[in-house]
Structure 1
Amino acid sequence: MGKIILENIKLFGFHGCMPEEAYVGSYYTINLEIELDFYKASINDDLSKTINYVDLYRIIKEEMAINSKLLEHLAQRIIQRIKKYRTDLIKHTKIKICKENPPLQSSVDRVCIFLEDKNIIN
């Protein structure tokens, strides 16, 4: 068993429930962790036996471009797309999405959500 981790992806997006968030936007930091068995890939040096992190980044970037009111919804969409991409390999997915400098009435560096999903394959 192994993990692919994408750390501190920084993207701009328009997510939130407040009207100004839809046109002002904010910076986000995303961390993704995928647990999978990439033994065959490690032995055979074969990209088709693992998950290409370039594809994971592309999925995150595409989903970040679609506005959501809730970060929870955004995280769920990302996980579902990743599961569809390589459901045969993925055992466990974790994602953390942080909104940098959220529009609150006090000084808060970031607000984050964390979502994990275990892929139960029968």
Structure 2
Amino acid sequence: MHSIHLKNIRVFTNHGCLTEEEKIGSDYLVNLRIEANLSPAAKSDSLNDTVDYVHLNTIVIEEMQKRSKLLEQVGQRIINRVLRELDKVQFVEVSVSKINPPIGGDVAEVIVTMTERRE
């Protein structure tokens, strides 16, 4: 199995449980890793034989724009879409990071990481 990584996709949006988070919004970073058999693409040099990382990025951006209270819900939505829309993907790992979370301390970011394997 091979992998494709999208690192530090920066998105400004308004997730969170607090009313202020909904109104003000904040910065998030998303890291996405998928596993798939990339050998056909290595031989053919054809986009049709790989997992298009533009499609992966589009999924992340679109799902991040839908408001949720919890990062867990956003992460699961990203996983669900990747597995639903991209048949070649066998495994997905997504990390959603809230930068400078409002938790009353000096915390750089809170990260939720979720994984799922195609059955």
Which category describes the TM-score, using the shorter chain as reference length?
Answer: over 0.9
What letter is aligned with 1:5? Answer: H
Normalising by structure 2, we get a TM-score of 0.97
Match of 1:93 in 2: 92
Total equivalences in the alignment:
119
TM-score (norm 1): 0.95
Q: How does 1:1-122 map to 2 (within 5 A)?
A: 1-87=1-87, 89-120=88-119
Separation (CA, whole Å) in 1 of partners of 2:49 and 2:85: 13
> What letter corresponds to residue 45 of structure 1 in structure 2?
D
Counterparts of 1:23 and 1:50, CA distance in 2: 39
> Which amino acid in 2 is paired with 1:48?
N
Structure 1 gaps of 5+ residues are none
Shift of 1:90: 1.1
Structure 1 CA distance, aligned partners of 2:82 and 2:92? 9
Deviation of 1:86 after TM superposition, in Å, equals 1.1
What is the CA–CA distance in structure 2 between the aligned matches of 1:61 and 1:36, rounded to whole Å?
21
Query: Which consecutive residues of structure 2, in runs of 5 or more, have no partner in the other structure?
Result: none
Q: Identical aligned pairs, as a percentage?
A: 38
Read off the aligned partner of 1:52 and give its amino acid letter: D
